[in-house]
Amino acid sequence: MNHTATTRRSLLGALLAGAALSAVPAAPTRAAAAGSLPAAVPPADPRTTRPLLLGTYTSEQGGGTGVGTATYDTTTGALATGPVISGVDNPSYLAAHPSGTTVYAVDEQQQGGVTAIALAPDGAHRVLGTRGTGGAGPTHLSVHPTGKWLLSANYTSGSVAVHPIAGDGSLGERTDLVAHTSPPPGPGRSGPHAHQILTSPDGGHVLAVDLGNDTVYTYRLDTAAGTLTEVSRAALKPGAGPRHVTFHPGGHFAYLACELDNTTVVCGYDPATGTLTPGAGQSTGTGPGTSYPAQLLVTADGAFAYLANRGHNSLTRYAVERDGAALRLLDTVPVRGDFPRQIAFSPDGALLFAANQRSSTVTVFRVDRADGTLSAAGEPVSAPVAVCVLPL
Asked whether 280 and 258 are in contact (CB, 8 A), the reply is no
Q: What percent of the chain has pLDDT over 90?
A: 84
Q: Measured between alpha carbons, how far is 71 from 57 in angstroms, rounded to an integer?
A: 20
Provide the mean pLDDT of the chain. Answer: 89
Asked whether 218 and 197 are in contact (CB, 8 A), the reply is no
Other C-beta atoms closer than 10 Å to the C-beta of 126 total 11
- Per-residue pLDDT tens for 136-171? 999 999 999 999 999 999 999 999 999 999 999 999
Q: State yes or no: pLDDT of 44 exceeds 60.
A: no
Average pLDDT over residues 253-274: 97
Q: What percent of the chain has pLDDT over 70?
A: 88
- Per-residue pLDDT tens for 4-37? 333 333 333 343 443 333 332 333 332 333 333 3
Asked whether 48 and 61 are in contact (CB, 8 A), the reply is no
Element at 377 (helix H, strand E): none
- pLDDT: which is higher, 53 or 61: 53
Asked whether 17 and 23 are in contact (CB, 8 A), the reply is no
- Per-residue pLDDT tens for 188-208? 899 999 999 999 999 999 999
Asked whether 210 and 179 are in contact (CB, 8 A), the reply is no
| Residue 183: cis peptide before it, omega within 30 degrees of 0 | yes
Q: Long-range contacts: 14-17, Cβ < 8 Å, 24+?
A: 14/100, 14/121, 15/51, 15/100, 15/101, 15/119, 15/120, 15/121, 16/51, 16/53, 16/69, 16/119, 16/121, 16/123, 16/392, 17/49, 17/50, 17/51, 17/71
pLDDT at 133: 98
Least confident of 11-20, 89-98, 336-345: 11-20
How many alpha carbons lie under 13 Å from residue 249 in its C-beta half-sphere?
Answer: 13
Say whether 328 sits in a helix, a strand or coil.
strand
pLDDT at 9: 36
Say whether 8 sits in a helix, a strand or coil.
helix
Considering the entire predicted model, what is its pTM? Answer: 0.88
